[in-house]
Chains A and B, each alone.
Chain A
Amino acid sequence: MKLAIDQYAHLSSPIHRWDARYKLIGLLTLIFAFAFVEDLRLVPVMLLVVVGLYWLSRLPLEFLTTRLQYPGIFILAMVGILPFLSGETVLWRMGFLTIRQEGSLALILVLSRFLAIFTTGLVLCGTGSFIRLVKAMRSLGLSRILTDMILLVYRYLTELSYQLTTMQHATQLRGFQPLKLNRRNLEIYAALAGSLLVRSYHQSQEVYQAMQLRGYGVTPGSAQAQSRVTLDTYSAIALLITLGVSIGLIGFEVLA
């Protein structure tokens, strides 16, 4: 399990240059504006915005396509049957296969929204280091408890999945080869899960101690917590543009 969401954080592009706090507000608003889209006439606009955004971010196309695979299959499995089952107006019929208009349109809408939101999320997370993004959340007022948790989870998700893999390797090296579901096999999996929990609990105690030994949780408002509030004109303009597009999309949806 490689979490390299920010493997392209080092690139330089107009989006990379965008301050993480402004970017967070801007792109999240955009995501919601996309979620609002119900009118099919907005779909091309939405896709155009996203293509532009991704192009600006200079992220390689391969980054998008590889990450799109799993959730893409998933959503297709969820809505792929819509054209065949949903709606009255038959577009096309061959044997027992019927393609219906309402379902097809719904499919197009859902898929485009999915694509737009997914890509925007990827641009948000992929164009800067993840840690920076979390710090931006904190300086925007997200609870310190949550952001500290996010940072630690970020660190330990890879670590623990690595530990799990290694423990599973250790079971294999000692001849564990489960081919069927029985009580003992299930119990061994439960032991793996349990070990992981206990191990991480134990580790969390020592981690907390190690953090305390290095001054955690006592100096509120230390240098780390406050980041300088500078007015970054470039980022502010980028934010205004994004907000403008978002409001435009939502406004059209509400008025039309």
Chain B
Amino acid sequence: MHISEGLLSAKVCLAGYGITGLITWYSLRKISHSSDPTAGVPKAALLTAAFFVASSIRVPVPPASIHMVLNGLLGAVLDIYAFPAVLVGLLFQAVMFGHGGLSTLGINAVIMGIPALIAAQVFQWHQSLGRHLNRTLSLNLFGFLAGVIGIGLSCLLFLGITILTIPSGFDAATEQTAIRGLTLVHIPLVIVEGIFTSMVVSFLYRVKPELLISSPSSHETSH
């Protein structure tokens, strides 16, 4: 779900870089104002690598196999480092594997990163909105939502940007059919992603709850 080199006009690429630059600058400023800015670097870096490796796991859905995106969870786990993490991860995907590209790095970071930030916010609601639910249920539910929102929004942004900016217009009808068709195709994938995300969330909750920021366990012990 990355936009390749050459597809977009330079203006869109530059706009992407502009937005990405702004959010990255804001994130970095928040990081360097934290008590020990270097402390989070190895954690963010290794988890970035882990997320991108984990997203290469191919889950068989006969007759093919799919892989997860996990950007919702990435947002939830990495907090202020999430956006820089997405940027760095995408840089590697572009350089090493040719997924995406250098000129489209900015716009791709927007496509993956902004939904990650929103999904992270939604996931945090498990502490407030999910307060009345049983802990596991609320984690599963909001994990699911984070997964769905992360990949869902990314898909919409991706489809929107490509179809609207691809040079030489289709007629409006073709465009609409295409969008509708592609959206329908993606719905099952989005749901599998949601389920998978909630499963990883419950794994993390069992094994290393502090990875889920301001984790329920620390919440629990404080009462």
- Direct contact between the two chains A and B in their complex (CB within 8 A): yes
Instruction: Tell me the A residues contacting B by CB distance below 8 Å.
Output: 1, 3, 5, 28, 31-32, 34-36, 38, 67-68, 70-71, 74-75, 78-79, 82, 85-87, 102-103, 105-106, 109-118, 121, 124-125, 130, 143, 145-146, 148-154, 156-157, 159-161, 164, 178-181, 185-187, 189-205, 207-208, 211, 216-217
Query: Which of B53, B60, B99 lies in contact with A179, CB distance below 8 A?
Result: B60
Complex alpha-carbon distance, A145 and B195, angstroms: 33
Per-position 1/0 for B1-31, Cβ under 8 A of A: 0001111111001100000000010001001
Summarize B's interface: helix, strand, loop or mixed.
helix
Instruction: Tell me the B residues contacting A by CB distance below 8 Å.
Output: 4-10, 13-14, 24, 28, 31-32, 37-39, 41-54, 56-57, 59-62, 68, 70, 77, 84-85, 87-89, 91-92, 94-99, 101-103, 162, 166-170, 174, 192, 195-196, 199-200, 203-204, 207-208, 211
Summarize A's interface: helix, strand, loop or mixed.
helix
- A117–B102 CB distance below 8 A: yes
Complex alpha-carbon distance, A106 and B167, angstroms: 6
Complex alpha-carbon distance, A197 and B56, angstroms: 13
| Closest residue of B by beta carbon distance from A160 | B53
Give the most central of B56, B77, B167, B196: most A CB within 10 Å: B167
**Given the complex, which residues of A lie within 8 Å of B5, measured CB to CB?**
71, 75, 113-114, 117-118, 121
Query: Which of B37, B96, B192, B208 lies in contact with A145, CB distance below 8 A?
Result: B37
Complex alpha-carbon distance, A180 and B63, angstroms: 9
- A156–B6 CB distance below 8 A: no
- A211–B60 CB distance below 8 A: no
A-B contacts at CB below 8 angstroms, number: 238
Assuming the contacts A121-B102, A160-B50, A194-B204, asked whether A180 and B60 have C-beta atoms less than 8 A apart, the reply is yes
- B92–A197 CB distance below 8 A: no
- A70–B97 CB distance below 8 A: yes
- A149–B196 CB distance below 8 A: no
- B6–A75 CB distance below 8 A: yes
- A67–B60 CB distance below 8 A: no
In whole Å, how far is A74's beta carbon from the nearest beta carbon of chain B? Answer: 6
Complex alpha-carbon distance, A164 and B53, angstroms: 8
**Given the complex, which residues of B lie within 8 Å of A160, measured CB to CB?**
46, 49-50, 53
- A204–B45 CB distance below 8 A: yes
Q: Can you offer 28 A-B residue contacts whose CB atoms are under 8 A? A: A1-B56, A5-B95, A31-B102, A32-B10, A32-B103, A34-B103, A36-B9, A70-B99, A71-B5, A82-B168, A86-B169, A102-B168, A114-B4, A114-B6, A145-B84, A146-B87, A148-B38, A149-B41, A153-B92, A154-B92, A160-B49, A161-B53, A193-B68, A197-B200, A203-B46, A204-B42, A204-B43, A208-B42
Complex alpha-carbon distance, A151 and B44, angstroms: 12
Query: Which of A28, A68, A156 lies in contact with B102, CB distance below 8 A?
Result: A28
- B57–A193 CB distance below 8 A: yes
- A157–B52 CB distance below 8 A: yes
- A153–B99 CB distance below 8 A: no
- A191–B31 CB distance below 8 A: no
